[in-house]
Amino acid sequence: MTPKQQKFCDEYIKTGNATQSAINAGYSQKTAKSIGAENLTKPDLKKYIDSKLKDISNNAIATAEETLGILTKIVRGEHT
């Protein structure tokens, strides 16, 4: 993955917009739409994006174990 492609991926993760992400990564405005769409079909770029989105999702949502732990502390009066 080139530095420009990585920048595209990082921008896409932030915005969800392939065209704007291509522009922000330094691609030409004239070709941004097609480059953005093309980049999303490249297996290594898609894998990177999917991996990062999964990491973000995993960190954003409490697991069942975490939730039960907090609820248990609340029931026991250990947490307010």
Q: What is the pLDDT of residue 39?
A: 97
Q: What share of the chain is helix, strand, coil (3-state, %, to 5)?
A: 75, 0, 25
Tell me the CATH number for domain 3-75.
1.10.10.1400
Whole-number Å distance between alpha carbons of 37 and 58: 26
pLDDT in tens, 3-61: 999 999 999 999 999 999 999 999 999 999 999 999 999 999 999 999 999 888 777 77
Residue 48's contacts (CB-CB under 8 Å, 6 or more residues apart) are 1, 6, 9
Q: Is the pLDDT of residue 80 over 90?
A: no
Q: What is the pLDDT of residue 12?
A: 95
Residues 33/27, Cβ–Cβ less than 8 Å: no
Written as six digits, the tokens of 19 are 């065209």
Whole-number Å distance between alpha carbons of 55 and 1: 19
- Specify the pTM: 0.71
